[in-house]
Amino acid sequence: MKRNALYIQSGGPTSVINASAYGVIDECRRHGEEIGKLYASVHGIVGVMEGELYDCFEEEEAQLELLKQTPSMVFGSSRYEVREDTDCDYEKILDTLKRFHIYYIFINGGNGSAEAGKRLYGYLTRVSYDFRLMVIPKTVDNDIAGIDHAPGFPSAARHVAVSVAELVHDMHTYDTDLIMVAEVMGRNTGFLAAASLAACETGYGPDLIYVPEVTFDSEKFVRDIRDILEKKGKCFAVVPEGVKTADGKYLFESTTVNKAQDPSRNMGGITPYLNSLLREHFTCKIRCIDLGLMQRCAIHDASFVDLEEAEALGRMAVRRTVEGRSGEMVTLNRRAGSPSYETELTGIPLEQVAGKERVLELRYVTSDQNFIRKEYLEYILPLIGELPEYAKLKRKRATI
């Protein structure tokens, strides 16, 4: 009997995770001598526990090809965390693996998924189950250790850069003073907020950029806004959802506005607070905008590099397990010293990834802690691809 495989989508969506799914599915088909069937769990690990699986090989090839241009997570996910105080959840997982004769396990997720993969690897090893397990990275936050950049981040970064450039265009429509603030994703890392710097390459970028790696001071924020407004009459600021105040609290959980509106204290939602704060200090027009879920699922402007790498890492995961490797995360490294953008794909032990969080290096943050240095463009521009080109008219005033 051939050994079967299982693919699990985990954590939050990205615009390219389905490209990784396609890479896994197509590569498993190419290894028909080693792999019998490929299943995908219904809503992540919960589907595995409940024995709810899809048969991927029953899908039409034309529809599978479309995965590479399909947003979000086609097989669904779950935020459920497998219990560690008892083996009851793991026993349910093991039962499903045995019933479906699953040998190869592919977990496609972020930081938490790498940790969960490590724990599952440990349990299955402890009970002497014969298996191979590989983690495929993805996240828009780019906070996974051991990889140059995680699939999903380049596309989210591109969406942020283009959206900010478009909003700055909009800001200059009227001849009145105006403050615009864009809230972007980023739990503890500022990679995505920093990506808004790329909008400057179009000629229309932000004036202020904040990151979670630096303490958020509301009074300084207001001063920064006022300084720009007095000089230019308009100000555009980018603030990530994960900024923290001096007491170590996330900004969204330390505000009475959000406690009332979001009693579950979910990540994000600082826009109402920032809007209220600015209205206390300024009388001009204020627009606070949450870029929202489109950052992580906007396939219409996904990075081509991101799509290719997401699929390639899915394929690499299958090949490495067929070769006998297990307990790893497939990864990509940017080749040092290369004059053009090049990467190499490999794998690293889960011990080097699980429980570790990558953050934005402070060398990219300016000394006044409200903008990003141009050096960051060397990192981000090859990932997000060619940006739109906008008209740069002379706009010479007519004379008679």
Asked, colleague to colleague, whether 3-151+302-352 and 153-298+360-384 share their fold, the answer is yes
**What pLDDT, on a 0 to 100 scale, did the predictor assign at position 263?**
44
Which of 306, 298, 273, 332 is closest to 384 using CA atoms? 306
Q: Which helix (H) or strand (E) holds 208?
A: strand 208-209
Q: Which two tokens stand for residue 374?
A: 């141009």
Using a 10 angstrom Cβ sphere, with 0-12 exposed, 13-18 middle and 19 or more buried, the burial of residue 120 is buried
Which strands, in side-by-side order, build the sheet including 234-240? 208-209, 234-240, 178-184, 285-290
What's the topology of domain 3-151+302-352? Rossmann fold (3.40.50)
Q: Which residue bears the tokens 């995908």? A: 40
Alpha-carbon distances, residue 71 vs 175, 277, 373, 393 (angstroms): 38, 35, 32, 36
**What pLDDT, on a 0 to 100 scale, did the predictor assign at position 264?**
44
Which of 125, 141, 116 is closest to 296 using CA atoms? 141
**What pLDDT, on a 0 to 100 scale, did the predictor assign at position 295?**
95
- CA–CA separation, 49 and 43 (whole Å): 10
Per-10-residue mean pLDDT, the chain, length 400: 94 97 98 97 98 97 97 95 96 98 97 95 98 98 97 98 98 96 96 98 96 97 98 97 94 63 62 96 97 94 97 98 98 84 96 95 97 97 95 92
- Say which amino acid occupies 37: K
Domain residue ranges in the chain? 3-151+302-352, 153-298+360-384
Question: Which superfamily, per CATH, for 153-298+360-384?
Answer: Phosphofructokinase domain (3.40.50.460)
CB 292 within 8 A of CB 101: no
- Pairing mode of beta strands 3-9, 208-209: unpaired
Catalytically active residues are 141
Helix ranges (H only) for 233-375 are 256-261, 271-281, 294-297, 304-322
**What pLDDT, on a 0 to 100 scale, did the predictor assign at position 261?**
52
- Say which amino acid occupies 238: V
CA of residue 158 relative to chain centroid, distance:
11
- CA–CA separation, 53 and 359 (whole Å): 35
- CA–CA separation, 381 and 107 (whole Å): 29
**What pLDDT, on a 0 to 100 scale, did the predictor assign at position 98?**
98
